[in-house]
């Protein structure tokens, strides 16, 4: 089987999210990559080094910048003429593009696969991860999005893919990129961080989040996260949200501070290697999944922890 993997990048470098998709694709067959955007030579060269990669298709066109699906999906659909499966990370970019590709190919997409069970059989979460479905596609071609935390990351080195330029593509002329408010930060990215410190509604305010959560994260070089309740209350921006409708994370250590542990939050972090919960309510559901639970007032316990760790 020949697979085509969507390379997520920022114009300069391959994003981490791509690597787990390469691992999933390698379970199906030969791995080809697609790098789309203008001036993406450096990205393509880097992508060719990823372990196990055969060919890197490069579509160099400004119409593909910002991943506008109206322009990108027809390009992918065309390349699928000689590939059997299209795989994209289950990021906001992958989720935006892949179903548009699937419909152009008249194929049902299989979303957020957790494992490859056979050439057309996969597992995926349904009902916010409260159930796992094993599903089998009957379509001639596959379109899949891949949950990054469910597959190991392919190595960034060791590959020797060949870079090949593909058709110019065009601007469909129905959409344009206006602007973005992307938080710039020295911290590790939430979805690839080894340690995450997350705060919940118990913090009570944006100031307290800054005062209590941030210093611990600084000390551990951790990424910052939050529950939906904390995001909805405006303590932190939306891109901090961990949960079924936010980001799915699986770090080595996840600190849940002042987070009660609603199903929707647990769905986003329960695959973390070690979960540490600090909450003053000893009956909070978070303690049912925590490896280390501390029943304490977070406003005392967290600064003390930050001081002693």
Question: Which of residues 170, 175, 205, 206 is near other proteins by CB under 8 A?
Answer: 175
Stretch that binds other proteins, among 44-52, 55-63, 163-171, 229-237 (CB under 8 A): 229-237
The count of chain residues that interact with other proteins, using the rule CB under 8 A, is 89
Question: Which residue's CB is nearer to other proteins, number 164 or number 232?
Answer: 232
Whole-number minimum distance, CB 249 to other proteins, in Å? 12
Answer for which of 96, 187, 204, 208 binds other proteins (CB under 8 A) is: 96
**Footprint of other proteins on 136-155 (CB under 8 A):** 136-139
d(CA 224, CA 190): 7
What is the rounded CA–CA span in Å between residue 244 and residue 118? 26
Q: Which stretch binds other proteins (CB under 8 A): 25-33, 51-59, 169-177, 197-205?
A: 169-177
Q: Which is nearer to other proteins, 80 or 102 (CB)?
A: 102
Does 186 bind other proteins (CB under 8 A)? Our answer is no
162 burial type by CB count under 10 A (0-12 exposed, 13-18 middle, 19+ buried)? exposed
Site for other proteins in 288-307 (CB under 8 A): 288-296, 301, 304-305
Report yes or no: 117 and 108 within 8 Å, Cβ to Cβ.
Answer: no
Q: Is the CB of residue 29 less than 8 Å from the CB of residue 59?
A: no
Max CA distance (Å), the chain:
61
Residues 17-46 that bind other proteins (CB under 8 A): none
Region for 234 from its dihedrals, namely left if φ exceeds 0, alpha if ψ lies in -120 to 50, beta otherwise = left
Work out which of 11, 127, 158, 207 binds other proteins, going by CB under 8 A.
Answer: 127
Work out whether 133 is an interface residue with other proteins (CB under 8 A).
yes
Residue 115 burial by CB count (10 A; 0-12/13-18/19+): exposed, middle or buried? middle
Write down the least CB distance from residue 220 to other proteins, Å.
6
List CB contacts of 134: < 8 A, sequence separation 6 or more: 117, 121, 122, 123
- Of residues 81 and 179, the one with the C-beta less far from other proteins: 179
Residues 67-86 that bind other proteins (CB under 8 A): 68-70, 73
Q: Is 104 helix (H, G, I), strand (E, B) or coil?
A: helix
Q: Scanning residues 245 to 284, which ones bind other proteins (CB under 8 A)?
A: 245, 247, 252-253, 263, 270, 274-276, 282
CB 148 within 8 A of CB 90: yes
Between 160 and 178, CB nearer to other proteins: 178
CA distance 183 to 191: 14
Residue among 48 and 257 whose Cβ is closer to other proteins: 257
Residues recorded for the chain? 309
Which stretch, 39-47, 50-58, 80-88, 126-134, contacts other proteins (CB under 8 A)?
126-134
What separation in angstroms does the CA of 172 have from each of 61, 66, 68, 75, 126?
Answer: 12, 14, 10, 11, 34
Contacts of 234 (CB under 8 A, 6+ apart): 206
Binding mask 187-216 for other proteins (x = CB under 8 A): ----x---x---------------------
CB of 122 to other proteins, least distance (A): 9
Report the alpha-carbon distance of residue 42 to residue 11 in Å, rounded.
8
């Amino acid at each position: 089987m020949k697979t085509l993997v969507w390379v997520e990048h920022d114009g300069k470098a391959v994003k981490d999210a791509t690597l787990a998709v390469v691992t999933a694709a390698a379970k199906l067959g030969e791995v080809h990559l697609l790098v789309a955007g203008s001036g993406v030579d450096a990205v393509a060269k880097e992508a060719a080094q990823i372990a196990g990669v055969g060919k890197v298709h490069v579509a160099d066109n400004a119409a593909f910048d910002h991943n506008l699906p109206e322009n990108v999906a027809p390009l992918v659909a065309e390349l699928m003429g000689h590939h059997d499966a299209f795989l994209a990370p289950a990021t906001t970019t992958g989720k935006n593009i892949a179903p548009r590709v699937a419909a152009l190919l008249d194929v049902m997409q299989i979303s957020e696969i957790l494992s490859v069970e056979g050439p057309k059989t996969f597992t995926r979460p349904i009902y916010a991860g409260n159930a796992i479905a094993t599903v089998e596609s009957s379509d001639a071609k596959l379109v899949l999005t891949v949950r990054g935390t469910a597959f190991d990351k392919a190595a960034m080195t060791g590959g020797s893919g060949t870079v090949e330029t593909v058709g110019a593509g065009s601007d469909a002329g129905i959409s344009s990129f206006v602007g973005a408010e992307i938080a710039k930060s020295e911290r590790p990215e939430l979805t690839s961080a080894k340690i995450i410190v997350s705060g919940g509604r118990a913090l009570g305010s944006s100031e307290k989040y800054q005062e209590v959560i941030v210093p611990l994260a600084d000390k551990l070089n951790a990424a910052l996260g939050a529950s939906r309740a904390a995001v909805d209350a405006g303590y932190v921006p939306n891109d901090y949200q961990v949960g079924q409708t936010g980001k799915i994370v699986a770090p080595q250590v996840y600190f849940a501070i002042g987070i009660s542990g609603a199903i929707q939050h647990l769905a986003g972090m329960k695959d973390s290697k070690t979960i540490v919960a600090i909450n003053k309510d000893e009956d909070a559901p978070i303690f049912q999944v925590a490896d280390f639970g501390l029943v304490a007032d977070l406003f005392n316990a967290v600064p003390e922890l930050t001081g002693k760790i």
